[in-house]
Chains A and B, each alone.
Chain A
Amino acid sequence: MDSKRAILEALRRTDLPPAPLPPYPAPVRFADPERQFAESLLSVGGRYLRAADAAQLASQLAAVEPFARAGRMVSLVPGVGRSDLDLSAISDPHQLEGLDFAVLPGAFGVAENGAVWVEGASLPLRALFVVPQHLALVVPAGAVVQTMQDAYERIAFRGAGFGVFVSGPSKTADIEQSLVIGAHGARSCTVAILG
């Protein structure tokens, strides 16, 4: 007998009455989700920017130290930052090593935890959100949902696909519980609400 059948049969030997699926609880409502998003983002070590248009965002970013200092960067957001690497010509993610900064589109933000949903489909290479040393995510104005329960109402996977919530910069507290920012992924995470 193959292992799949053996496992399913072993599980079926315990015949349980079906327990019902519960309704989801009503989640908290923040009066000003965008403000809550900014607060949550700061609490997880992120940096918050608010810009009316790409030009304003570009000048705000110029004041962000890792952006100003960045030797090599890529941007997938028109009018914000520059691309020193032709992403359409690359198929090997290892070539992203050495990038100092990436400006990427975020689909929406989550007020309760400062997370931004980044869709795999918007990235020519998946590694773009984690290999560059610093990260900026640009989220369209009005695209901040209240909680993760609201977030999953906006997400669908049909067939293949990747997506990630990014909440602040990469971090660890594995040495004596001291928080250190910049474990393996981005050393800083700036989120800009644009529009």
Chain B
Amino acid sequence: MGHPEAAARFVADDARAHWHDQALWFVRLKRDRQAHGLPEWEELRSCAAQIKAHTVSRLPQYLEEFERNATAAGAVVHWARDAEEHNRIVHRILSERGVTRLVKSKSMLTEECDLNPYLEARGIEVVDTDLGERIVQLAGEKPSHIVLPAIHKKKEEIGVLFHEHLGTQEGASDPTYLTEAARGHLRERFLAAQAGLTGVNFAIAETGGVVVCTNEGNADMGTSLPPIHIACMGVEKLIPRLADLGVFTRLLARSATGQPATTYTSHFHGPMKGGELHVVVVDNGRSALLAAEAHRRALSCIRCGACMNTCPVFRRSGGYSYGAVIPGPIGSILSPARDPARHASLPFASTLCGSCSDVCPVRIDLHSQLLAWRGELAEKRLVPAGKRLAMKAASLVFRHPALYALGGRVGRFLLRHLPRALLYGRWNAWGRQRELPPAPARSFRELYDGRDDG
């Protein structure tokens, strides 16, 4: 199923689609308030973009430096070429130590690798501890947004879910009550866990440390109670110096949720006393992305989610409509790089308005990349015939002014005179939820030619 079909399901529930749209727009506005409060905001974005570009230009060097320093601090660094190897490594670490209860904080990488089912099939209980992730885990779903995993769910649905799994009162849906219930339920899991797994927001080459940011404190519970900490990171999480965090921590939370900082920004160098720290460094397609000149900059992404919150298509079509682990504008660039045939509809799930590029804290040229993908997919013949034909026709019309003028006249005539049944027939996808604009009496060109210069 492509994006348009999946999105049609989401918009079928009009009230929910509107709620989703508003909720994300609210986050976007909070982000704006934080961004506008800092006079150096735009400079920070440029600086972050350049630090990332620099790092990406010498990834092997920084990876080796990171490994050296992380090892010196007492961590064990593992390398995984792909998802399968990543899962095997994590499982080996756990099974060799007899771990059967793992608590996990948010990590999009482990979603990408499908780690949970892999471990569960081998007898390890995995508990996602970010509240949003726990909600979707209990519901048997996947996150629909990288920062707000359960943004597609209404509190009443969560109430039903918690009643069934956590024994909350039937019909209760107050967020404070439900969060308190989850706190109690997850605290038991934290206390019983034998190991904790986290993602990584930043890995520092200079010091060999990894940094994890959360608001809930779930990563901190999961890494300070059980003695074993496994941190999983893509190769692109590196930054050269500790001081670079001064730039990235100022951007991340402001862009993600409109807070001046995440509640907890934790820096791990080596294990805690008597414990173990394992860092799993994963490629899984990232070296291929590095080789793709047009899309290399996507490796700079710090997974803040701002491009999703601002995207008019994401807000109105929901995260699931993208059929990918990472949805939204950045996902629509990353997914076709993995599997162009399967994700061919995603670069078209955009109005190319450029709002994503405007908010991106590391200045990824998201909308230009989406446009570039369209061309590449057309070349690969992965665009449906109808769309290809329409693009050809449009190209012909735009290249011939006389044809364009004729088209305009015919269009205006038809808009005025065709019966409604025909005008809003099956062919008119645009008109399904909207009214077509009234036909103007004269075209812009006619108005311009007849203007009074006086």
Contact = CB atoms under 8 A, between A and B. Distances in A.
B287 A180 contact: no
A3 B150 contact: no
A10 B270 contact: no
A140 interface: no
Contact of B261 (A6, A91, A115, A125): A115
A11 B220 contact: no
B216 A185 contact: yes
Given A176-B155, A184-B186, A185-B221, A149 B247 contact: yes
Given A7-B79, A162-B267, A162-B272, A175 B158 contact: yes
Contacts of B23: 176-177
Interface in B131-169: 131-132, 135, 148-151, 153-155, 158
Nearest to A177: B23
B35 interface: no
A175 B265 CA distance: 22
A131 B175 contact: no
Interface in B161-220: 175-176, 178-180, 183, 186-187, 190-191, 207, 209, 215-218, 220
B56 A184 contact: no
Contact of A8 (B64, B130, B183, B266): B64
Contacts of B99: none
B63 interface: yes
The secondary-structure label for the interface of chain A is: loop
B263 A170 contact: yes
Interface in B22-52: 23, 26-27, 38-40, 43-44, 46-47, 50-51
A68 interface: no
A178 B217 contact: no
B50 A186 contact: no
A71 interface: no
Interface stretch (B109-117, B238-246, B426-434): B238-246
A27 B60 CA distance: 31
Contact of A3 (B81, B207, B268, B274): B81
Contacts of A182: 179-180, 183
A183 B183 contact: yes
B235 A11 contact: yes
Contacts, number: 259
Range for the number of chain A residues in contact with chain B: 35 or more
A173 B79 CA distance: 35
A188 interface: no
Given A16-B57, A19-B54, A183-B216, A126 B81 contact: no
Interface string B360-378: 0000000000000000000
Given A3-B80, A155-B242, A13 B54 contact: no
18 contacts: A7-B283, A8-B64, A10-B287, A11-B283, A13-B287, A19-B53, A24-B47, A129-B220, A155-B242, A159-B72, A161-B270, A164-B264, A164-B267, A167-B262, A178-B176, A180-B179, A183-B131, A184-B129
Interface of B: 23, 26-27, 38-40, 43-44, 46-47, 50-51, 53-54, 56-60, 63-64, 67, 72-74, 79-81, 85, 129-132, 135, 148-151, 153-155, 158, 175-176, 178-180, 183, 186-187, 190-191, 207, 209, 215-218, 220-221, 223-225, 235, 240, 242-243, 245-247, 249-250, 253, 257, 259-274, 281, 283, 287-288, 290-291, 296
6 closest A-B pairs (Cβ-Cβ)?
Answer: A185-B217, A160-B270, A149-B246, A183-B216, A113-B260, A174-B132
Given A20-B50, A125-B224, A162-B266, 6 more contacts: A7-B287, A22-B50, A24-B246, A126-B224, A169-B263, A185-B263
Interface of A: 2-4, 6-8, 10-14, 16-28, 40, 43-44, 91, 93-94, 97, 110, 112-115, 120, 125-127, 129-131, 147-153, 155-157, 159-178, 180, 182-186
